[in-house]
Amino acid sequence: MDPRDRVLEGLADGKSLRAICREQDMPNVSTVIRWLADEREAEFCAQYTRARAAGDDAMAEDIQDIADDDTLKPEDRKVRIDARKWLLGKRQPKKYGDKIEHEHRGGVALIPMQPHDDDI
């Protein structure tokens, strides 16, 4: 299998790029970064973006598995969940970030400006 395909497959499974690149017969991280910066690799770049988004969704599903894992100590479970939530919130803030609601009370008084003599 082509290394590019293996990178995409690993990302879609929720693995980190570093973990993928540590596998046997894989390029190092800097090589993948160069592929992403290369204009001739536009298709790989688009696929990388989609694979990363799929991997983020897989990571979000992992949170539920971790929460339900009775073999983990509660503090270990919390650390693993919080790390994933933080990463997802940074990578995809619109989808996984904390929602912040702003409430405005009161009104805003709009006072029309009067023309000055030198404006006429």
Q: Mean pLDDT of all residues in the chain?
A: 91
C-beta separation of 41 from 35 below 8 A: yes
The pTM of this model reads 0.75
Domain with 28 in it = 3-93
The pLDDT tens digits of the residues spanning 73-94 come to 999 999 999 999 999 999 999 9
Whole-number pLDDT of residue 20: 98
Residue type for position 1: M
In a domain, residue 108? The reply is no
* Separation CA 2–CA 20 (nearest Å): 13
* Separation CA 6–CA 14 (nearest Å): 13
Q: Hey, what's the torsion of the CAs at 75, 61, 64, 76, to 10 degrees?
A: -10
Q: What's the domain count of the chain?
A: 1
pLDDT at 12 over 90: yes
CATH of the domain at 35: 1.10.10.60
Give the 3-state secondary structure of residue 96: helix
Whole-number pLDDT of residue 79: 97
In a domain, residue 105? The reply is no
Percent of the chain with pLDDT over 70: 92
* Separation CA 60–CA 85 (nearest Å): 8
Whole-number pLDDT of residue 115: 75
Residue 53: partners with Cβ closer than 8 Å, 6 or more residues away? 92
